Structure 1
């Protein structure tokens, strides 16, 4: 057997990204039997199973782990030499995209995104993953197409596009027994607070600024996601500091009051992020353009991560 051709290398990369023969077929928009046949040829060429079935999907063998970076470099070089000829037609595509996002983004973005997808790309599917410390690795490997949120730690090799500026407000029950029409710093410090500490929400800004200003915040309820905390706040006298867009969304669905934070908190920018390997991928480019059109306040500029 001669050297594997470009298509075989693309299939290897897709199986590595997805840990699945069926998902690799969806990603490449080819039949699952074609992926299986290609894997057979690759296994014969390398005299190695390359990927084996496990409870977590198709796991790479040690040889496959050694091959993945050279294969990706080869694919990048071929695409650079001959130009990317693939196209993406949203009206006919059956591609499945994977987006890392926070619980907050689920509420703010997903309903609008789903409506836009059904209108423009009825065959496209979306997988949602949590936005956590693995987001950069998932973007680089191709396991995820985009990550949406506040991710200041991404380094060189990633692109980003600003979507909107975010600032914080305080959320309280509409019938809070002591807070009516406004919130003073003394009240902020005296009341009990609910808090959530999800990655990608900018909550570090709150923690750092409160500590810097020497403000007291008595956290009596700590929950890993905002939904549980928000609806506890609705039925108790606890306060919660949340992004403004979330506060406005919750106010329309529950008995909440939105109050200005009684001290200065810096704003932060919610962005969408992707790896440079997929910067020119037509499907990735289409999806991020759709999200920007739905969420961007002023047509955010694309730039490499600092």
Structure 2
């Protein structure tokens, strides 16, 4: 290949990461026909389909799997030798960023982030993905740009930045027959609780700390996420322990009250995480800075 064909290697790398011609076009600011032409040239060069369309996307062939590390090494070497990095212009870019986050972060962070994006990057798109056991693989492969939440399992190979501190409150219906002016330890243990178990939150901290203090919760209902849970609570006599920031967002939007948890619980940090492969990527760096600045302006950090 001659030096002008470095763009083809970038297309190879992006298709391998995203498993999608359309997403590759968005990321590289190319038209889909141009990506298809580049793939055609790559296939002719290597005498192999390289990527085959399946129900799950453009899956690499065994030859493509064997080439990917060499392709990435070549791109990194070119970047070092030429001293060039693709500039990222948020006002002109139509890139789709993919952010893994909890349903709480969708309520607490996304509205403000979306307003800011419309001001400074009106063509940018966002795809929100749930936090899951696959989040680390998504970040490493580039199929996700950021993960936001309490994710202590993201350690080796990942950078992180604290966005804000979080602690818990108890939510009860405004019409609760036994809890009106405050919540006592005796009431906390006597009443039935709803428990939300979801990836990327600090609910395990609550469970572990209550167990350490010998405090028992009468869990009557387990649900997988926080979406709509407040409006369920207002119609029952259940208690729900939730992050304070979620309580602040929901304040005034239903008939419920929030009280301090009547036991000491540790705080935890909500962080944004990204893989070291994309630490110096201009677009990823811009997105991280935007999120951090937004939280700082809100007095969160």
Quick one: distance in 1 between partners of 2:271 and 2:277?
A: 18
Residue 100 (1) aligns with residue 100 (2): yes
Partner of 2:167: 167
Secondary structure of 1:227's counterpart equals coil
Secondary structure of 2:180's counterpart equals coil
Secondary structure of 2:138's counterpart equals helix
Aligned residues: 300
Whether the 8 Å CA contact 2:197–2:203 is kept in 1: the answer is yes
Query: 1:65 deviation in Å?
Result: 2.0
Query: 1:75 deviation in Å?
Result: 2.0
Query: 1:56 deviation in Å?
Result: 1.6
Whether the 8 Å CA contact 1:165–1:270 is kept in 2: the answer is yes
TM-score, scaled to structure 1: 0.93
Partner of 2:60: 60
Q: Is there any run of 5+ residues in structure 2 with no aligned partner, and where? A: none
Partner of 2:70: 70
Secondary structure of 1:200's counterpart equals coil
Whether the 8 Å CA contact 2:184–2:262 is kept in 1: the answer is yes
Counterparts of 1:77-116 in structure 2 under 5 Å?
Answer: 77-116=77-116
Partner of 1:181: 181
Counterparts of 1:1-306 in structure 2 under 5 Å?
Answer: 5-296=5-296
Secondary structure of 1:236's counterpart equals coil
Query: 1:242 deviation in Å?
Result: 0.6
Residues 11-41 of structure 1: CA deviation (Å, up to 9, x unaligned): 0111112111111001100111111111111
Whether the 8 Å CA contact 1:100–1:131 is kept in 2: the answer is yes
Residues 129-151 of structure 1: CA deviation (Å, up to 9, x unaligned): 00112111111111011111111
Query: 1:66 deviation in Å?
Result: 2.3
Q: Is there any run of 5+ residues in structure 1 with no aligned partner, and where? A: 301-306
TM-score, scaled to structure 2: 0.95
Whether the 8 Å CA contact 1:99–1:128 is kept in 2: the answer is yes
Quick one: distance in 1 between partners of 2:263 and 2:67?
A: 54
